[in-house]
Amino acid sequence: MHPAFSVIFFTTASGAGYGLITLMSILQASGILPPDPRVGWAGFGIGFTLITLGLLSSTFHLGHPERAWRAISQWRSSWLSREGLAAIVTYVPTGAYAIGWIFLDWRDDLFILTGMVGAMLCMQTVYCTAMIYASLKTIRAWANSWTVICYFSISIFTGALLMNAIASVFGYWHPAMFWITTGAIAVAGVAKMQYWRFIDRNPSESTAETATGLKGHIRLLESPHTQENYLQKEMGYKIARKHASKLRQLTIAAGFVAPILLITLANASIPATAAALSILAVPVAAIGVLIERWLFFAEAKHVVTLYYGETTA
Amino acid sequence: MTSLPETPTTKKLGLVIDLDICVGCHACAVNCKEWNSGGHSAPLTDFDPYGADPTGVWFNRIHTFEATDDVGNSRTVHFPRSCLHCEDAPCVTVCPTGASYKREEDGIVLVNADTCIGCKLCSWACPYGAREYDHDDGVMKKCTLCVDKIYNENLDEESRVPACVSTCPAGARHFGDLGDPESDVSKLVEARDGFELMPEQECKPTNRYLPPRPRKTAAGSTGAPSALEPQVDGGDSPFLRWVDKVLSR
């Protein structure tokens, strides 16, 4: 599949934003993160910026962005519609929670409950995003449960890295944050490797034989057209196996191994150095996650390619 | 509404394509383009049509495959590919706006160009590559089964079939109601073991393909002997033996 930057940015940025707001709500409720307005400014500022820029970016690839409002109408059947609706609904409790945290000194049980509802809706939105891909039977690399597990775990781990950095900067670092962050990175790393293992071993049931109904070895003798058409440009994107394996290694190194090393180092450092290392872990992981998401698209093979010379998909 | 009709449509208009007969002339694709350039989803935009890199929107694409069996016998099969107007059309259910829909009255799958946002998700959901994006209009386009032709009372009755069917010079394309077991197309599918493409994708396509008929791999009988008798080299006659000897020198 063609790796469009708008969608890569949308899924990674909004995932990190939702992960961050989820963890802030949980850690505030459990007393690990004090509801200091400065932390609120930084956390919700970064979180909402990532989510909003991501959602806006996802409309850039539309043919008619001015009609995007129509996309929330078909929640009964469409995961894309559910995702749009969930994203809008999530702004309500998370927005109220952020305002209560920063401006109103709202600290009662209802405040905590609002945060928890917001956190659940954040994860619901991430789930809808993942299901847009996981529900497409035409793409074996997406239509499996590892897709959802990876979207969840990467959202949480990128959010955890952001939260870790913010807490370190404001002097609210807590050992639980180190364990949550390293745990989240480890889970995401293992999930991603399991995902790759799965897609390497499980091609689609569809083959050139089922696509054409012909028997034997099927070869495309003549293409229907001389130039690449929309289908080939959108769904025929191919990446060489040797490049894919290098990029996978880079994803593991930058996305998972380097952030763990940096925050472990931070854990053993004086506060100023620790804050700097925690902040540094964010852009390093971002590089890894952007490559991971680029590969998620580039490695995915659509069954329509079976009509254009592929024998398996 | 992009939910599918609640009960499967009783009428299932569709095509039956005979892979044994198709000669790969592309006339169906050309006439499709011609009719639909002025039809329901018009225009079918072309880019750089007379230049070095022409591309554009087509609803019908003719592939040519070579199928080779285990012993090396191969055959060339021309393979027209267009929308199969599926019963469980995933392109309809993924649509976030309701622009993509399946008609209850005849099962035709259409796109409302006024509400399509051009997100392209329907083209990802379709296994058959039936949908093509028009970069100029910013909306998705697809085969309409010539919905503006098959019900058009301004046309002669015999012309009220999809453009691809009316133009096929070989008679490889048939149009009718595949929901009616007594229709000509249903009987044809029954008689020729018509099949659906990629049944494992569970879209329940309406269109059917008829397989190429088995080909003879041994020579047929023309009544002639399989080998000529050896010529008599003289037999018992001393004269003929002498002639043979002289001529053989």
Q: DSSP labels for B141-171?
A: EE--TTHHHHT-TTS-GGG-S-HHHHH-TT-
Exposure class string for A17-33: b at 16+ Cβ within 10 A, else e: bbbbbbbbbbbbbeebb
**The tokens 């929670």 sit on which residue?**
A97
ipTM over 0.90 threshold? yes
pLDDT top residue among A262 and B6: A262
pLDDT of residue A124: 98
- Token code pair at residue B208: 């059917």
For residues B45 and A182, the answer to whether their CB atoms sit within 8 Å is no
Q: Quote the crossing angle between the two packed helices A271-298 and A241-250, to the nearest 10°.
A: 160
- Give the three-state DSSP class for A96: helix
pLDDT in tens, B55-90: 999 999 999 999 999 988 899 999 999 999 999 999
Tokens of A42: 């930084």
Supply the mean pLDDT for chain B: 92
pLDDT in tens, A105-141: 898 999 999 999 999 999 999 999 999 999 999 999 9
With a pLDDT cut of 90, the percent of chain B lying above it is 79
* Of A134, A44, A45, nearest in space to A82 by CA: A134
Q: What CATH number has the domain spanning A5-308?
A: 1.20.1630.10
- Whether A291 shows a pLDDT value over 70: the answer reads yes
Q: Which residues contact A59 (CB under 8 A, 6 or more apart)?
A: A65, A68
Work out the minimum CA distance from B91 to partner chain A, whole angstroms: 10
Q: Are A18 and A122 in contact (CB under 8 A)?
A: yes
Q: What pLDDT does B2 receive?
A: 65
What are the backbone dihedrals phi and psi of residue A94, each rounded to the nearest 5 degrees, phi first? -70, -35
Asked if the structure places residue B8 within a domain, the reply is: no
For residue A177, give Cα distances in angstroms to A18, A32, A184, A271, A279.
17, 8, 10, 14, 14
In a domain, B240, yes or no: no
Domain hosting B87: range is 13-210
Tokens of A116: 């928890």
Whether B53 shows a pLDDT value over 90: the answer reads yes
Q: How far is A292 from chain B (nearest CA, A)?
A: 20
> pLDDT tens for residues A141-192?
999 999 999 999 999 999 999 999 999 999 998 999 999 999 999 999 999 9
pLDDT tens-digit map of B145-163: 999 999 999 999 999 999 9
Contacts of A304 in chain B (CB under 8 A): 126-129
How far apart, in whole angstroms, are the C-alpha atoms of residue A306 and residue B191? 28
- What Cα–Cα distance (Å) separates residue B109 from each residue in A131, A231, B106, B143? 24, 19, 9, 8
Distance from CA of A2 to the nearest CA of B (A): 11
Instruction: Answer whether residue A246 shows pLDDT above 60.
Output: yes
Instruction: Name the residue in chain B with its Cα closest to that of A212.
Output: B197
Residue numbers in A near B217 (CB within 8 A): none
DSSP string, B17-34: EETTT-----HHHHHHHH
How many domains does chain B fold into? 1
Taking residues A284-298, what's their average pLDDT? 97
> Do residues A63 and B139 make contact, with C-beta atoms less than 8 angstroms apart?
yes
Between residues B218 and B73, the one the model is more confident about: B73
Please say if the pLDDT value at position B230 is more than 70.
no
Q: Do B119 and A229 touch (CB under 8 A)?
A: no
pLDDT at B210: 98
pLDDT of residue B214: 87
Q: What CATH number has the domain bearing residue B155?
A: 3.30.70.20
Tell me the pLDDT tens digit for each residue of B178-202: 999 999 999 999 999 999 999 999 9
Q: Which residues of B touch A137 (CB under 8 A)?
A: 90, 125, 127, 201-202
CA-to-CA separations, B62 to A8, A128, B124, B164, in angstroms, rounded: 34, 37, 20, 12
Provide the residue ranges of all domains of chain A, joining segments of one domain with +. 5-308
Query: pLDDT per residue over A6-47, tens digit each?
Result: 999 999 999 999 999 999 999 999 999 999 999 999 999 999
Contacts of A13 (CB under 8 A, 6+ apart): A50, A51, A53, A54, A57
In a domain, B237, yes or no: no
